Amino acid sequence: MTHKIPVSVLVVIHSADGQVLLLERADAPGYWQSVTGSQDPGETLTETAIREVREETGLDATAFALTPWDIENRYEIYERWRHRYAPGVTHNTEHVFGLRLPAPLPVTLAPREHLRYQWLPWQAAAGRCFSPSNAAAIRELPARL
């Protein structure tokens, strides 16, 4: 098994009017989040964001406004997912991006990764996220619209 790199992106996909796309994790039903994923070797963070958006939603991030938000979060990796990283790796560094769409769009989920999706007003989306850093990023949205 190839271990994940403990560097990831979090992409808050949102509409121009402040609705946010959330995805329910297949490996943790009831856990809702934005697009997220680990960097692959040799990728820039922007390339990681584009790849993860495509893999998890079917959307082409290059067709919309993808912006790094200059937010970096370092957090302890949840115990349930630590086996995906090299032995002894306990923390991840997450880089936040925003992807602005003109309006909510239907997405094509990766069935092994996500069960359902929903578009919610940003306040409701922030309250629904299981990850504190994801919720905090969504709460930044009004200042970025």
Q: pLDDT tens digits for 87-139?
A: 999 999 999 999 999 999 999 999 899 999 999 999 999 999 999 999 999 99
Domain residues of the chain, as ranges? 7-144
Residue 11 confidence class, pLDDT cut points 50, 70, 90 = very high
CATH class in words for 7-144 = alpha beta
Residue 1 confidence class, pLDDT cut points 50, 70, 90 = low
The pLDDT tens digits of the residues spanning 45-55 come to: 999 999 999 99
Q: pLDDT value at position 101?
A: 98
3-state secondary structure of 126: helix
The pLDDT tens digits of the residues spanning 31-83 come to: 999 999 999 999 999 999 999 999 999 999 999 999 999 999 999 999 989 99
Burial 112-121 (b: 16+ CB within 10 A, else e): ebbeebebbe
